[in-house]
Structure formats: C-alpha cells, structure tokens
Amino acid sequence: MQPSLEVRDVTKAYRGTVAVDRLSFQVRPGEVTGFVGPNGAGKSTTMRLLLGLDAPDGGDALVNGERYARLDRPLTHVGALLDADAVHPSRRARDHLLWLARSNRLPDARVGEVLDQVGLASVGRKRVGGFSLGMRQRLGIAAALLGDPPVVMFDEPTNGLDPDGIVWIRELVRTLASQGRVVLVSSHLMRELQDTADRLVVIGRGRLVADTTVDDLLGTVSRDQVEVVTPHRSEATTVLANAGARVTIAGGDGVVVEGLPGDRVAALLGTAGIAFTELRRYRASLEEAYMALTRDAVEFAAAEEDGR
C-alpha cells in the first residue's frame, strides 16, 4: 500500500475558538509537501490531530488510511518532529531515543544509527539539557527517523538552526522524499520552502487556502506583470498610469506594471521618450505569492464575518 497522510473535513475547536475549520487535503509520497500558513493558522493543530494527540470534533485525520491510535508500533508508520524541546533535560540523548525505541519494539541498535544519521553520534552520551536548540532539533529528527517510517512530519524543523543546519535539513527532506516517503514540512516562512517543496498546502485561519504545486502558485500570482528598470521612474509611472496600468515601485530602479502586456509597455515608453535598461516578465517570490493568498484569506474571512 502507498503511504499517505490524509485530512478529511476535519474540524477542531478549543474552548469555542476554531483552530481547524473543515480542512481537507492529502499528502502524496515521493515529493516534499510544504505546509504553510501564518502563526496560529492551525498547522500544529493539524499535525496533532494526525498523530491522534488531540481528537477532532469532526472529520478524519488518517495515516496510511488508518486512524493513528489504531496503528501497531506507530513509529514504524510515522515519524514526527513536533517540538524539539519535548525532551527531559536530565536525560542523555541516547536514553531519550532508547525509551522511544523500546516503546515500539525497535532494536536498540537503531539508536546509534539515527544518532549517526543526524550527526549527533559524538554527543549521544551527553545530557540533553546542555544541547543548543539546533542540536535538540537534530535529536527530534533522529527520534522521527527511529522507526524508518514511510511517512515523516516535521513542524518548523529549521527553527533555531544555523545556516549549515538549514542546508542539512533541506537535503535530508529531499532525500527522504526521493526514497518515496510522504514528507510534510510546516513553516510560517514561505521562503524556507521555496527551494525545497514541490507542493504546497497553504492554510489560514484553519481553512485551506491553496493546495497546489509551487510552480502553479507562482504562475498565478505573477500573471500579467511586467518589471521595468529605468532611471526615470516617476515619468515612467505617470505615462503608464495614464494608460490605465497599476504601477508599483519595486526595488532598485524598477517599477512593476500590472494590467498592460509587455509590448504595450515598451511602446508607450518609447513614444514618451523614456529610456529603460530592462523590461522583463515579473516573477513574484513565493513570499509575495503567499502574502497575496493569505491576505485574500484574511479579507475573505473578515468579509464573511461582516456579512453575518
């Protein structure tokens, strides 16, 4: 059976505050799926629901088609990093992994293997209390990999990591996906996922905003935009705005033009005698795409509340 993570119409409220609202999505194997949304959007809640830690008020959160609580030796099905701090500080790193291994009848030898894999072999006998946040993240990832699971779920894995660590995580995540695993990585910063994720599940206020590939998302947001680089930005802005375009000032000497095709922009500027050094299709960053999406989601929600 193909490994999978699936959320079907899941709703969860805490003391009347809705954290996840009729959310549905599916994560496929073999690619990295980024799970994005602003802080408080419901990412961690969704992961807790998938791990059976919290019970949904409605809907199903399924791992490999099963509810988590029904899994035998669950660490061999799903590895999750939820909170790198969730380790007793007085325990040695080895012992932390050892009790986890024993709880799922995994051989003790796996502990040494995963410690090697995350680069903590030399500090396995040290107490976790003395670890940096980056080391604790690595320990949490080691715990997730302990059962060699076909599904992995990392909640904000790059938090507190130095640049080396961030690069390491990206490579690890890509490797895990290339081995055919289901990989779900959450972040509140879209740019962290820009070079890593193949697909994106974007949520805001507990609802699904987009479930798409990275390329499609960028395409949608960047549609019909042209960037012009010119030393005469104010003149260019006036001319283009008079022609009906929406013009915004970009970085450097650039302006971004929306609402006019590229050849029309070139013609208008030529007629007005405004020199420009560059004219190209504008490609938004993932960050901007995400801002646009979540802004819509926030406005949509606000409008809906007003309409009630």
Partner 1 sequence: MSAVRAEWTKLRSVPRWVATFLGALVLTVGLSALAASGSTTDANEHPDFVTGPHGDAVTDGFGFAHQAVTGDTTMTVHVTGLARAATERAESGAPGTAVPTTPWTDIAAGITLKAGTEAGSSYVSVLLTGSHGVRLQGDFTHDVAGSAAHGDRWLRLTRTGGTVTGYESADGTSWTRIGALTPAAIPPRAEIGMAVSAAPVLHVSRGGGGSSVGGHPGRASATFEDVTLEPATDGTWQGTAVTMPTPADQPAKVGGSTAPTPRVLTASGDTSTVTGSGKVGPQRPDDDVVEGALLGVVAGLMALICVGVLFGTSEYRRGMIRTTFAATPRRGRVLAAKALVLGGAAFAVSLVAVVVAFVVAVPILQDHGMAPPAFPSPSLGDPAVVRALVLAALFMTGVTLVALAVGMLLRRTAPAITLTIVLLVLPLVAGTILPGTSPRWLMYTTLAGGLATLRAQPPTDTLAEPWALIGPGAGIGVVASYAAVGLALAWWQLRRRDA
Which residues sit at the interface with partner 1, rule CB under 8 A? 48, 51-55, 68-69, 71, 74-75, 78, 80, 82-83, 85-88, 90-92, 95-96, 98-100, 102-105, 143
Q: At what angle do helices 214-222 and 286-307 cross, to 10 degrees?
A: 70
Q: How far is the CB of 6 from partner 1 (least distance, A)?
A: 18
Rg, the chain, Cα only: 24
Q: How far is the CB of 232 from partner 1 (least distance, A)?
A: 57
Q: How far is the CB of 204 from partner 1 (least distance, A)?
A: 23
Residue closer to partner 1 (CB basis): 25 or 68: 68
Q: How far is the CB of 124 from partner 1 (least distance, A)?
A: 13
Sign of CA dihedral 91, 97, 101, 103: positive
Q: How far is the CB of 170 from partner 1 (least distance, A)?
A: 24
Q: How far is the CB of 41 from partner 1 (least distance, A)?
A: 18
Contact 7, 49 (CB under 8 A): yes
Residue closer to partner 1 (CB basis): 28 or 92: 92
CA dist., res. 210 & res. 216, Å (int): 11
Residue closer to partner 1 (CB basis): 139 or 226: 139
Q: Phi first, then psi: give them for residue 261, nearest 5 degrees.
A: -70, 160
Residue closer to partner 1 (CB basis): 100 or 218: 100
Q: How far is the CB of 92 from partner 1 (least distance, A)?
A: 7
Q: How far is the CB of 61 from partner 1 (least distance, A)?
A: 13
Residue closer to partner 1 (CB basis): 18 or 166: 18
Residue closer to partner 1 (CB basis): 104 or 220: 104
Residue closer to partner 1 (CB basis): 80 or 217: 80
Residue closer to partner 1 (CB basis): 136 or 233: 136
SS3 readout for the chain: CCCCEEEEEEEEEECCEEEEEEEEEEECCCCEEEEECCCCCCHHHHHHHHCCCCCCCEEEEEECCEEHHHCCCHHHCEEEECCCCCCCCCCEHHHHHHHHHHHCCCCCHHHHHHHHHCCCHHHCCCEHHHCCHHHHHHHHHHHHHCCCCCEEEEECCCCCCCHHHHHHHHHHHHHHHHCCCEEEEEECCHHHCCCCCCEEEEEECCEEEEEEEHHHHHHHHHCCEEEEECCCHHHHHHHHHHCCCEEEECCCCEEEEECCCHHHHHHHHHHHCCCCCEEEECCCCHHHHHHHHHHHHHHHHHHHHHHC
